Amino acid sequence: MHFLSKTQPRSGFVRIAALALCFVFAAAVLLSAAFITTHANHTHDVTGADGSCTVCIQLVHVQTMLKQLSTGIALSVAAIFALFAILGILRIIKAYTSAHSPVGLKVKLNN
């Protein structure tokens, strides 16, 4: 079945999957921010394999993930804004360049 068909039997599944993905994304952001907040001023426990602090390593990973997610969000918002701007400009161009014919203007032609 083509994805542009009129009947979409899986639309409920797609909606639930999108909602679950949004929930997971929001939970990852909130839990990462909470982890950074609670462990920002921790005592260094040097028990890592190479003598490094495991909490510091996790903090770096979480900060990197948040930076990457925020970059993705910013690019998505910019792309959506650009898309709407282009669509608005195309709508204006179409309004001024459309051919005005008697049929388009709904003029009744009498003999």
Mind listing the pLDDT tens digit for each residue in 25-82?
A: 888 888 888 888 888 887 777 666 666 787 888 888 888 888 888 888 888 899 999 9
Whether the Cβ atoms of residue 81 and residue 61 lie closer than 8 Å to each other: no
> pTM, whole model, 2 decimals?
0.54
CA torsion through residues 20, 25, 28, 31, sign = negative
**Is residue 103 pLDDT above 90, yes or no?**
no
Q: Whole-angstrom Cα distance, residue 76 to residue 28?
A: 18
Query: Domains of the chain: which residue ranges?
Result: 12-97
Give me 66's structure tokens. 């948040």
Extended strands (E) in the chain: none
Taking each helix axis from N to C end, the angle separating 54-97 and 11-39, rounded to the nearest 10 degrees, works out to: 140
